[in-house]
Amino acid sequence: MSGASGLADFQHRFSWPRTGAALPLCIAHRGASDHARENTLAAFRLASQLGADMWEIDTQLTRDGVVVISHDDHLLRVFGVDARISQLDAAELAALKDVDVPTFAEVAALARALRTGLYIELKAQGSGLKCWRELLTHDQTYAAFGSFDTAQVRELRDAGCQWPLAVLVRIGCGPLAFADKAGADLVHLCWEKDGERPQDKVTNDLCDRIFRSQRHIVLWHEERADILKDMLDLPVLGICTNRPEMMRSGEASRDIA
């Protein structure tokens, strides 16, 4: 299985739409987060305008169990507010001045309207099943779930989730061992800090071993033009980036067969 020839089977297996996108898929990391505040509806809209096929989003849970989209539980880094999402009810969070944290339901609805996929990174424990139920309600199949936490991925697999599942793999961890532990369909290599040329670590041998295990590959978020240019030639399903326009402006993108 190669990155290109296996994509049609992947789409059929998971009921993903044939969008006419290019390969690798452009996955906007927290939206177009180099241009707009990360994980906001504005960042997601802009990402689609800049050519993103999917949005990478992060899940947190409010005190009353509502899934919202934020990389951090703490609001200080992004919004300058000394408060934690997990210690606020959804209504209290929504009422905070100058804080723009959308619910998962709002982001999923926007993705349906714009025909954009969701690449859902599970942060808060228990958020995966809630997101899955929301997607089931709307028959929203153009989505994938992933996490560094193999237990959260395995929870969805054991519950019978039929959406593709990804395991995020840090530097120094065995990709296939982690994928087996999680029951993952996708291996997401988070190797952007692994030397000056991390793309060289995505070897033909590694790709072949992952493909033989009937899995696809997603790569870290990348904004360095020279590295991203090389990554576009790798046989991978998708690449995350804070700047979707960088992927869609180059000639290295390949048409999906």
pLDDT tens for 95-153 read 999 999 999 999 999 999 999 999 999 999 999 999 999 999 999 999 999 999 999 99
pTM, rounded to two decimals: 0.94
pLDDT in tens, 62-106: 999 999 999 999 999 999 999 999 999 999 999 999 999 999 999
Domains of the chain: 7-58+115-245 (3.20.20.190)
How far is residue 152's CA from residue 86's CA, in Å, rounded to a whole number? 18
Task: Give the mean pLDDT of the chain.
Answer: 93
